Structures are given as structure tokens and as C-alpha cells.
Amino acid sequence: MSLNALEIDAIVELLNHGVGRAADALSKMVGEEVLITVPVLELVDFNQFEQQLNSFPSDEVMILLQPFAGEFDGTGMWILSQESCHALTGKVLSKTKIDPASKGVEDDLLTEVGNIVLNACVGQLAEMVESPLRCSVPQLKSSSAEALIPLIIKEVDHFSEQQSILMLHLNFSLASLSMQSVIGLVLDELAQEELVQKVKIYLDSLLKKITSFRE
């Protein structure tokens, strides 16, 4: 898959709407404003993907994996440090009457949050390709940064060293918490080709609207 700078900017703009909605939903959960940085999108090959994950600024991470299917198949992933996860769930639970010590409550909450974030991004992809994409319930895994690649290879269907990965870097910030995270979209070969074509169509349509407006 190959994308030029303009096509990458178009995808960033669409995904930015998705993560913005996710931030609004998260704000309601924690009871305070959640800000996000402007997302930075990269299209990376397997080696670059591995290097970036190995240099993730935390030794222990949590990863949520969410397969999706429809006109094309893929897997979304959200990666953030375990420290950020514990701080986030603590904030959410402080607004509820749920006992933080209850078995599995933290994992269930993180899965719910991850579902919101990844669904927002996949939803924007579906909007771009004009076809519904069905999301599965995300799986929550804990891992060391260096063990992430073997874990992803094991858990993600058809993941290979020949694939390109869309990596979205962004921070979620609350008054007393900043969470650096990575959202990854692993697409099969058909999905990659479809996405490139749909981005081109989207940009052509946008250009025609701008031209029509000027006339």
C-alpha cells in the first residue's frame, strides 16, 4: 500500500473526527474534559512497526485487539502503558459505586473504553468506504513492550511481515493524567487496495465540491 502526503492528511482528518467522538465519550465517563493531541499518522512496514513498538516509552503495556469485517477485513489495536491504564480506570471508578477490588472490573472497564476508541476509528473507515464494518468485542492483553510483536503475530489473523500498518500516534490528556498511546490498523491486502481507492475517490469528490463552490 502506498499513500502520498495528501492522502495521509485525508485519513488523519477522518480519524480525527473519530477519536474526537471517543474523547467526548471518555469525558462523560471520567466526569472531566478529555483533550487529544492532533493525531500523527504513519504508514509503516513490518520492520518499522517492530522498531516503534520496541521503543514504546513503557516496559509494560496493555493492548486491545479488535477484529472487524465487512467489505474488507482487518484488526484495530490500541496500545498504552499499564500505568496509564491503572490511572484511567481509577478515575472512572472514582465516579461510580463499583468496588475497584472486584475481580475483573478493571479489565472490563478497559475493554469498554477500548471498544469506544477503536469503534470510533473503524467507524470512520466504514464511512470512507461507504460500507458497514462489523466490529468484534476487543480482546485485552497485557505484555512487555518487547513481547508485543510475537503477541500480535499470534493473535491477529493473517498478520505477516509483508503487511503495511497504519499507526496513529496521539495523547489523551485529563487534568492530572496524560496518556501516550498508539492506535494501529492492520489491513489485509484487499483492504489496503480498497482503502487507497476510496481515499482517492474521497479527495476527488472534495476537490469537485471546492471547484463548484468557487464557480
Q: Tell me the whole-structure pTM to 2 decimals.
A: 0.83
User: Would you say residue 21 has pLDDT above 70?
Assistant: yes
Decide if pLDDT at 65 tops 90.
yes
Find where cell 505477516 sits: 160
Which of 3.40.50.300, 3.40.50.970, 3.40.309.10, 3.40.1550.10 is the CATH number of 5-214? 3.40.1550.10
Q: What is the reported pLDDT for 99?
A: 67
Q: How far apart are CA 138 and CA 135, in angstroms?
A: 8
Annotated domain spans of the chain: 5-214
36, burial (CB in 10 Å: exposed 0-12, middle 13-18, buried 19+): middle
Q: What distance, in Å, lies between the first and last C-alpha atoms of the chain?
A: 35
The tens digit of pLDDT for each residue in 42-63 reads: 888 888 888 888 777 777 889 9
- Report pLDDT digits (tens) over 29-42: 888 888 888 888 88
